[in-house]
Amino acid sequence: MKLLGIKRLLAAVTAFQAAVLAKDNTTSTKDNTVTKRDVTVNDVLDFKSALLLIDGKETSCESALIDSGAGFVAASCLKFTGSKVDMTRAYELVIKMGRGSSPTVTKTISSIDVHPEYDSGTLVNNLAVVQFGDGSNIEWHNYIGIDPSEWNNLYFIRRSLQNVPSRTWSDVIAYSSTDTPDKCLNASTSYAANPKDFLCNYAASLSIFNQECKIPYGTVFAAIQPSDVAVVALHSHSAVYGNSMCSQDTKLHYYTLLRNYLAWAATTLNRAIGGFVLDASYDFSPDSSYSMKSASKSNIDGVDLFYGDQYAQDPIDSSLSADIYRTPASQTGPTNSGGTPTPTDSAGNGSKSSSPTNADGSSHTNDASETGSSSKNKSSSKSGSDHSKTGSDAATDSNTEIGDLSNDSENGDTETDSLSESNSDSSDSSGGSGGVSPIAIVIPVIIVILIIGGAGIVWYVRRRRKKNEERMNALNNANNEDDDDDITPMHHPNESTSSIMNYYQSQDPYNPHQQAHPQQPPPIPPMPPMPPQQHTMSQYTTNSHMFNQPYTARSTQYDGNL
């Protein structure tokens, strides 16, 4: 293993000095036995990392630190006035000095040098060197990986602050993968022209400001087994088949490899840069004038490029409270070919975590299958937090126990790890607690209300129908009783019983023996004239006169005499 020292010796000439660091690949125990260990995400957390602040506001842009006085940032994260960086802005780096209770320091950026061949249209050479010290007293170095063949695993890292003024950190989100989807060539002209200068995948994490939006990771670290870690890349740009990072469209994220820019950075800083390689015989001679190949500026049909501060591009709802600032974001990444997440390593202590899914699992009409060559990925999410997923994420989420990291050099599989960091530099006891998306609460409540309301409507309709039926039955019964009361029996004086029965049978519509022309009852013969009858006048006493004489009824014909 050797450490490459790169210095500017003459005005336009760069020479390289190589110094070999004798570093054994084994560690000795007390009984003098020799054992090997594997790199885990904990080793990545021990690496110093930084976030870029502009005018006191957090950005999604991270810095790949070079040493205690300088670092790389994506040029697209800076503010420009014309072709020059706007130095009236306040640029700062918030640096986490290691894992757990390691201190946090804030450095003011005093100098910015953008790569001379940076193209803001195609995002080639999307790098800048920022300085936050005079370089006279370098206290520590970070090492930058230079031999991709030694990178047994890649860790895509997302850092964020729970609270900017207090410099309180959220949990680190880590996604592990070494595969590159085939579709990466189709979505970015700069990648197609320079495939060896980029890393690419689908993986994304949820924005801390708007959890409907997925954003790429910030920095990429390489695990160099058995015991070393090096920073290797920074996010450059994202290609979206659509017009928003908050859509469910296919998204591919591209990361600029730093290895070829070490000589340029050393020339800019006028001091040595730490480049890490495990094989001492590896020949690497970067050029201080290195530049990517130019790429076509014509847009790929249906694809938009997003770069720079992703938080500034979120359609942030002004009604969101400041609490969302303290909600650690959740990551998303591909699952393995079987769709079942596999156990992964974590800095946690056996807690359970939710396994994310492919951030953009749906296929697009302009491209082939989404899985590409990354179908073997395995993933898990952050321990100690419970976060809502969006859209396609929720479809394949499952819980998996956090286990130990297997040696990735043996099986080639990939993994995602999420970590809970303790922050002793903060008095906020709620750090790392997860928030629940309002949508996850509102949607079930709406469904329950709809079910109850629908059941109530059905019950009301049935009740009304039953009441109407009862009302109609009561009305029909009353009409039938009224009809029975109106029936008047017919009288047939001087008629025989058989004649009367024959008459009623002829009038009965339900009598099967009724004839087509019912018989009419025989006419009733007229009554014979009655002979005049003589009546005997009763004796009346009127005025004491006695009348006792016969009385003859008079004729009904008027004869003029009384």
Q: Which helix (H) or strand (E) holds 474?
A: helix 438-485
pLDDT of residue 372: 33
Of residues 67 and 322, which shows the higher confidence score?
67
pLDDT of residue 183: 94
Q: Is the pTM of this model over 0.75?
A: no
- Name which of 103-112, 122-131, 183-192, 294-303 the model is least confident about: 294-303
Residue with tokens 């303790």: 422
- Rounded to 10 degrees, the C-alpha dihedral 52/55/56/58 comes to -40
Distance CA 454, CA 463 (A): 14
Q: Tell me, yes or no, whether 45 lies in a domain.
A: yes
Q: Tell me, yes or no, whether 216 lies in a domain.
A: yes
| Closest C-alpha to 142, from 104, 203, 74, 95 | 95
| Closest C-alpha to 357, from 377, 343, 387 | 377
pLDDT of residue 99: 83
Q: Tell me, yes or no, whether 457 lies in a domain.
A: no
Of residues 446 and 330, which shows the higher confidence score?
446
Q: Tell me, yes or no, whether 508 lies in a domain.
A: no
540 residue type, one letter? Y
Distance CA 25, CA 227 (A): 7
Q: How confident is the model at residue 104 (pLDDT cuts 50, 70, 90)?
A: very high
- Name which of 47-56, 98-107, 386-395 the model is least confident about: 386-395
| Closest C-alpha to 183, from 358, 364, 332 | 364
Query: How many other CB atoms are found less than 10 A from the CB of residue 440?
Result: 13
Each residue's pLDDT tens digit, 184-213: 999 999 999 999 999 999 999 999 888 888
Mean pLDDT, to the nearest integer, of 336-346? 31
Residue 319 has pLDDT above 50, yes or no: no
Query: How many other CB atoms are found less than 10 A from the CB of residue 364?
Result: 17
pLDDT of residue 93: 98
Residue numbers of the domain that contains 22: 2-29+36-321
Q: Tell me, yes or no, whether 495 lies in a domain.
A: no
Backbone torsion region of residue 432, taken as left when φ is above 0, otherwise alpha when ψ lies between -120 and 50, otherwise beta: left
- How far from chain centre, in Å, is Cα 398? 14
Each residue's pLDDT tens digit, 497-521: 666 667 666 655 555 555 555 556 6
CB-based contact 93:218 (threshold 8 Å) = no
Distance CA 348, CA 71 (A): 29
Residue 15 has pLDDT above 60, yes or no: no
CATH number of the domain bearing residue 227 = 2.40.10.10
Distance CA 313, CA 300 (A): 21
Distance CA 503, CA 152 (A): 114
Structure tokens at 492: 């047939």
Mean pLDDT, to the nearest integer, of 371-381? 33
Residue 391 has pLDDT above 80, yes or no: no
CB-based contact 332:389 (threshold 8 Å) = yes
Percent pLDDT > 70 in the chain is 57
Each residue's pLDDT tens digit, 356-373: 334 443 333 333 333 333
Backbone torsion region of residue 88, taken as left when φ is above 0, otherwise alpha when ψ lies between -120 and 50, otherwise beta: alpha
pLDDT of residue 244: 87
Residue with tokens 């918030």: 94
Counting every residue, how long is the chain? 562
Of residues 86 and 346, which shows the higher confidence score?
86
CB-based contact 211:143 (threshold 8 Å) = no
Q: Tell me, yes or no, whether 210 lies in a domain.
A: yes
CA-CA-CA-CA torsion sign (367, 372, 375, 379): negative
Q: Which helix (H) or strand (E) holds 229?
A: strand 228-240
Query: How many other CB atoms are found less than 10 A from the CB of residue 343?
Result: 17
Percent pLDDT > 90 in the chain is 41
- How far from chain centre, in Å, is Cα 249? 12
329 residue type, one letter? A
Distance CA 125, CA 268 (A): 15
Q: How confident is the model at residue 37 (pLDDT cuts 50, 70, 90)?
A: low
pLDDT of residue 468: 87
Of residues 145 and 22, which shows the higher confidence score?
145
Structure tokens at 375: 């179908």
Give the pairing type, strands 275-277 and 144-145.
parallel
Of residues 39 and 523, which shows the higher confidence score?
39
Of residues 291 and 402, which shows the higher confidence score?
291
Q: What's the number of CA atoms in the CB half-sphere (13 Å) around residue 208?
A: 25
Each residue's pLDDT tens digit, 320-332: 333 333 333 333 3
Q: Tell me, yes or no, whether 309 lies in a domain.
A: yes
Under 8 Å CB-to-CB from 176, ≥6 apart: which residues?
A: 41, 153, 154, 155, 156, 344, 379, 408, 414, 415, 416, 417
Q: How confident is the model at residue 42 (pLDDT cuts 50, 70, 90)?
A: confident
| Closest C-alpha to 119, from 194, 57, 214, 216 | 194
Distance CA 62, CA 219 (A): 6
HEC string of 496-529 equals CHHHHHHHHHHHCCCCCCCCCCCCCCCCCCCCCC
Residue 30 has pLDDT above 70, yes or no: no
Residue with tokens 């994310």: 356
Mean pLDDT, to the nearest integer, of 114-136? 94
pLDDT of residue 5: 43
Domain count for the chain:
1
Cis peptide before 116 (omega within 30 of 0): no
pLDDT of residue 493: 58
Helices (H), 305-437: 408-411
Residue 227 has pLDDT above 50, yes or no: yes
